Amino acid sequence: MSKNRESLSVQMKLTIFFFVTSVIVILVNIIMFININNAIDSVNRVYYTNFLINEAKDALDTVQRSMNDYLNTKSTYSIEKYFEAEQTYKDRLTELEGLNNGGDLGVIQSNIIKLSDTYLRYTSRTIQAKRGRVVEKYRQSYDTAEEIYGYINSYIYSLNNERFKQNTRNYTGLMGSFRSLEYITILVLVIMSIFNILVTGLYTKNIMDPVRERQIMMETHLKDAELKYLQAQINPHFLFNTLNAGAQLAMLEDADRTYDYIQNMAAFFRYRIKGADGDTTLAQEIGLVDNYIYILNVRFSGEIHFEKDVDENCTGVVVPGMILQPVVENAVNYGVRNIDREKLIKLSVKRSDGRIEVKVLDNGAGMTARRIEEVMAGTAGEEQIMKDSNGVGLLNVISRMRLYYGTEEVLKIESDGKDKGTTVTLFIPDSNGGDDV
């Protein structure tokens, strides 16, 4: 319970820490986004005044041009164009008046508005005089309107020019502020990232230190257990010397079967003591199985029938030690040992689909689908598997082959159910690429 609470507390602390830092980063980005939008709006406002002045200038030119057209043609289109341009120009003047410019710009703007009022009065008089065919009057009004039009154009040019200079200065200032904002935002993000890395490093160090201590303690206990195990083992040289002495004695007494039995035992134990961690060949693994079956048949009066179908071109492949004999031993102990009918084990080796398939088939007790899943998942109960065996179970074989070959698909167990026998297939990558030797 304390470990669960500790892990929950660690998980909660890490969650809160990353949540807070994530919120800070999100807020920084939101602030940057808002400021960027404000800066863009400011830039748009800066140059909107120049746009508005140009719009007013275009409308003024259209008023003057449409008046001239009407005076020359008296067409309905010209007079409609005049009134439309006049209204547009008035609207632009109203917008300009709303800008509230001060200083010299305010004076120029005020002059434009006043002169425009006068100009529009004279253009209107000119149009009315033309309609009434009062030539002298519309000529006088036209000359005055044209003169005022020139003044207005000069003032608009001055206003536009001065406004552009001022807007350029404002734009430069805004861009400087925008860049400063970018630098500040990047700096904040960098600081937050460094802070996250430092805090995460320190925090994980505090978490991992107890884990490392426990790991060191476990390794110490494991080494101690291995030492005690080694101390309890029979000296290999003493074992082999004893077996050789027994073989020589059997030979002197003309006990050929006893001699063969002891020789097979010596070969079997010599291979076993060499260890399961070294590399060997498939041929040597099959030889170990032959020794094992021979020893069993002496022990059980030859009741185990062993058949082989081996492609010799496959036996030179290098494999991890002690992967085949445990499978055969498993077939004996859990497959055929307790059946009343013929006890049969078949070993086949062949190439298939770019790899070597080694199959161990028995006609024994069979396995349920659930039991197969338990064995493959490593939940079958290792203490039961280890009982009355050489100490290397199927789970050990599966684990070592997966590590050795770097793939999960190394062993398959198949059975049709109770008393239907079992087939275990080992999948070995073909080092010869599928070519016959």
Residue 30 has pLDDT above 70, yes or no: yes
Assign 3-class secondary structure to 260-304: HHHHHHHHHHHHHHHCCCCEEEHHHHHHHHHHHHHHHHHHCCCCE
Instruction: Read off the pLDDT of residues 280-303 as tens digits, 9 standing for 90 and up.
Output: 899 999 998 998 888 888 777 788
* Mean pLDDT of all residues in 332-337: 90
Residue 174 has pLDDT above 80, yes or no: no
Q: Which of 84, 265, 63 is nearest to 156 (CA)?
A: 63
Dihedral-angle region of residue 257 (phi above 0 means left; psi in -120 to 50 means alpha; beta otherwise):
alpha
The per-residue pLDDT for 391 is 39
Residue 387 has pLDDT above 50, yes or no: no
Q: Using CA of residue 136, residue 138, residue 139, residue 143, what is the dihedral sign? A: positive
* Mean pLDDT of all residues in 221-226: 56
Contacts of 209 (CB under 8 A, 6+ apart): none
Residues in the chain: 437
* DSSP-derived 3-state class of residue 308: strand
Could you tell me what percent of the chain has a pLDDT over 90? 17
The per-residue pLDDT for 211 is 59
- Give the CA distances from residue 189 to residues 76, 180, 183, in Å, rounded to whole numbers and listed in that order: 66, 14, 10
**Of 31 and 275, the one with more pLDDT:** 31
Residue 39 has pLDDT above 70, yes or no: no
Contacts of 384 (CB under 8 A, 6+ apart): none
User: What are the φ/ψ torsions at residue 391 (nearest 5 degrees)?
Assistant: 95, -5
Question: 304-310 and 343-352: which strand pairing?
Answer: parallel
Please give the single-letter amino acid code of residue 272. Answer: R
Residue 234 has pLDDT above 60, yes or no: no
| Cβ neighbours around 244 below 10 Å, total | 13
Rounded to whole angstroms, the Cα distance separating 257 from 251 reads: 9
Band of the pLDDT at 360, cuts 50, 70, 90?
very high
Rounded to whole angstroms, the Cα distance separating 375 from 382 reads: 9
Would you say 420 and 363 are in contact if contact means Cβ atoms under 8 Å apart?
no
Map out the domains of the chain as residue ranges. Answer: 2-207, 280-286+293-429
CATH of domain 2-207: 1.20.120.1730
Residue 66 has pLDDT above 80, yes or no: yes
Gap between the terminal Cα atoms of the chain: 60
The per-residue pLDDT for 230 is 47
Cα 247 from chain centroid (whole Å): 64
The per-residue pLDDT for 231 is 46
- Whether domain 280-286+293-429 has CATH 3.30.565.10: the reply is yes
Would you say 371 and 305 are in contact if contact means Cβ atoms under 8 Å apart?
no
Sheet holding 411-414, edge to edge: 304-310, 343-352, 355-362, 422-429, 411-414
Mean pLDDT in the chain? 77
The per-residue pLDDT for 3 is 46
Band of the pLDDT at 206, cuts 50, 70, 90?
low
- Give the CA distances from residue 5 to residues 8, 11, 66, 212, in Å, rounded to whole numbers and listed in that order: 5, 10, 87, 19
Instruction: Read off the pLDDT of residues 84-132 as tens digits, 9 standing for 90 and up.
Output: 988 998 888 888 777 666 677 778 888 888 888 898 888 888 888 887 7
**Of 17 and 229, the one with more pLDDT:** 17
Own/partner long-range contacts of 393-401 (Cβ < 8 Å, ≥24 apart): 393/326, 393/330, 394/326, 394/327, 394/330, 394/424, 396/276, 396/326, 397/322, 397/323, 397/326, 397/327, 400/276, 400/320, 400/323, 401/320, 401/323, 401/426
